[in-house]
Amino acid sequence: MTDVLIVGSGPTGLTLGCDLALRGIPLRILDRRSGPHRESRGKGLDPAGLEVFARLGVVERMSAAGRRGVVLRKYFDRVHIKDTPTADGLLIGQWRVEEVLRERLAGLGVHVEYGARIVGISQGPTGVTARLSDGREVSARFAAGCDGGHSAVRGLLGIPFEGHTEEAPTMVLGDVAAPGLGRGHWHQWFSSDGGGIMLCPIPGTDSFQLQAAPEQDGRGEPVAPSLESFQRLFDRHAGLPGIRLAHPTWLSSWRSTVRMAARMREGRVFLAGDAAHVHPIAGGLGMNTGVRDAEALARALATALGGPGTEGSLDAYEAQRLPVAAALLTDTAQRMERVMAAVREPGRGTEAGLD
Ligand SMILES: Cc1cc2nc3c(=O)[nH]c(=O)nc-3n(C[C@H](O)[C@H](O)[C@H](O)COP(=O)(O)OP(=O)(O)OC[C@H]3O[C@@H](n4cnc5c(N)ncnc54)[C@H](O)[C@@H]3O)c2cc1C
């Protein structure tokens, strides 16, 4: 039996894994994916997230793989209005953050076990047993559900995920190439009709992360993401006929969700990251908050594994992080409102979510 079973190898699970491994605590980390992904998703590390990574000894590698001081290039009704530099933080694709953490873990002798989907959990006074979809069982003294917004662990524990999810997608997104478009700026085109499109160059790749308000079909329904739809949106808002989007490697849509778990602990099992809280992306706080959850959970588990009479430290995790999650939901909902208002003003946009 290992000490800690981590379910999910996103930024939260990998940070927890690195932190525990550095403390010499035996762990296993399982993921239902067949292997690593290459989706840009959360593309910004803030100073608080970078501080955690400095302690884990990976901040130099993150910095080398990312880019600081990204400049937002603002257009309104296709006209370039101004450039706005951003202050702190590191622009880096989420897949790259995960890759650096996986490399760190491998150096500590731990490898993600892919193709391992958790479908059942039972626990007793001294341990937890997780059941996988292929019938295997994995036992540990403690378990952490770092398995994202649709967390199976949270569902298996019966922990309510309170809040709301918008029915219609607010945004389509993806990773695409845009040959001929300058890679020195995060391009943000907004239009007086309320629509817009943004293309952010992802460091170390030829691709841009594209985010846009979805097209509507004849019945007013949002059109599913596709390269063709992205091109039509680009032509409409950017109006640069020479630029043809190409090589989509990720297509997705995003629904605004504001939800948090009613509890972050059930006995010997804990929730962290998106499994415990999902909120608007304005301000880029999701991955960074998960990384901070992971740091707090590693500290609590390390204390509890230290010897008899120390399990009280486990209560400290929820007491510390649940109020952070609640404040985050309110904060990011307000940031999102500010961004939605700002994009209607020429020369303003996502930076309204950073204030
Ligand atoms: C467009 C966009 C932009 C964003 N920008 C930012 C940003 O700038 N900054 C920021 O901080 N955040 C940002 N985010 C949010 C960020 O992507 C998430 O908050 C982050 O991915 C959460 O990490 P996580 O490790 O908690 O969960 P995830 O990344 O969702 O990882 C969960 C893992 O669990 C695995 N899993 C799921 N179910 C099971 C199961 N049953 N058994 C085993 N494994 C399982 C999954 O395969 C996955 O690998 C952005 C998101 C989007 C979509």
Tell me the DSSP string of 80-104.
Answer: EEEEEE--S-EE--HHHHHHHHHHH
Of 189, 179, 180, 186, nearest to 201 (Cα)? 186
Per mean pLDDT, which of 194-198, 224-228, 253-257 is the most reliable?
Answer: 224-228
Q: Give the list of residues 6+ apart from residue 353 with CB closer than 8 angstroms, or none.
A: 282, 283, 284, 335, 336, 338, 339
User: 43: how many CB neighbours lie within 10 A of its CB?
Assistant: 26
For residue 339, name the pLDDT band (cuts at 50, 70, 90). Answer: confident
Contact 71, 186 (CB under 8 A): yes
- HEC string of 116-159 equals CCEEEEEECCCCEEEEECCCCEEEEEEEEECCCCCCHHHHHHCC
The CATH T-level fold of domain 171-255 is Alpha-Beta Plaits (3.30.70)
- Ligand 1 centroid to residue 41 C-alpha, Å: 8
Residues 6+ positions from 206 with CB-CB distance below 8 Å: 177, 247
Residue nearest to atom 19 of ligand 1 (CA): 286
**Mean pLDDT in residue range 201-214:** 96
Residues of the chain with CATH 3.50.50.60: 2-43+93-166+257-338
Report the C-alpha gap between 44 and 253 in whole angstroms.
19
Whole-number Å distance between alpha carbons of 273 and 146 = 6
The CATH 3.30.70.2450 portion of the chain extends over: 171-255
Residue 355 has pLDDT above 80, yes or no: no
Nearest-CA residue for atom 4 of ligand 1: 42
Res. 283: pLDDT tops 90: no
- 73-128 pLDDT, tens per residue? 999 999 999 999 887 889 999 999 999 999 999 999 999 999 999 999 999 999 99
pLDDT tens, residue by residue, 298-335? 999 999 998 777 778 899 999 999 999 999 888 888 88
The residue-averaged pLDDT of 136-145 equals: 98
The preferred substitution site among 274, 278, 332, 335 for testing ligand 1, maximizing ligand atoms within 8 Å of CB, is 274
pLDDT at 28 over 90: yes
Q: Check residue 349 and give its pLDDT.
A: 76
* Residue 160: predicted pLDDT: 97
Q: How far is residue 127's CA from residue 132's CA, in Å, rounded to a whole number? A: 17
Residue 229 has which token pair?
């739809």
In the prediction, which pLDDT does 178 show?
A: 98
pLDDT score at 310: 79
Question: Averaged over 233-251, what is the pLDDT?
Answer: 97
pLDDT value at 261 more than 80: yes
Q: Looking at domain 2-43+93-166+257-338, which CATH architecture does it have?
A: 3-Layer(bba) Sandwich (3.50)
Q: Which two tokens stand for residue 82?
A: 């101004």
pTM of the model: 0.95
Ligand 1, pocket residues at CB < 6 Å: 7-13, 30-33, 41-44, 94, 116-118, 146-148, 152, 173, 211, 254, 273-274, 281, 284-288, 290
Q: Which pLDDT belongs to residue 43?
A: 93
Atom from ligand 1 closest to the CA of residue 274? 26
Bridge pairing between strands 171-177 and 246-254: antiparallel
**Residue 137 contacts residue 30 (beta carbons within 8 Å):** no
Range of weakest confidence among 158-162, 261-265, 304-308: 304-308
Alpha carbon distance 178, 194 (integer Å): 23
**Cα(279) to centroid of ligand 1, in Å?**
12
Task: Report yes or no: 287 and 49 within 8 Å, Cβ to Cβ.
Answer: yes
24 CA distance to ligand 1 centroid (A)? 26
Residue 86 confidence (pLDDT): 85
HSE of 332, CA atoms in CB hemisphere, 13 A: 23
Amino acid (one-letter) located at 307: G
pLDDT at 353: 74
Q: Which residue has the tokens 């994916």?
A: 33
Q: What's the pLDDT score for residue 94?
A: 97
Region 249-272: mean pLDDT is 95
What pLDDT was estimated at residue 236? 96
Rounded Cα distance, 228 and 90, in Å: 31
Among positive and negative, which fits the CA dihedral 153, 255, 318, 160? Answer: negative
Q: How far is CA 89 from CA 69, 130, 288, in A?
A: 7, 37, 11
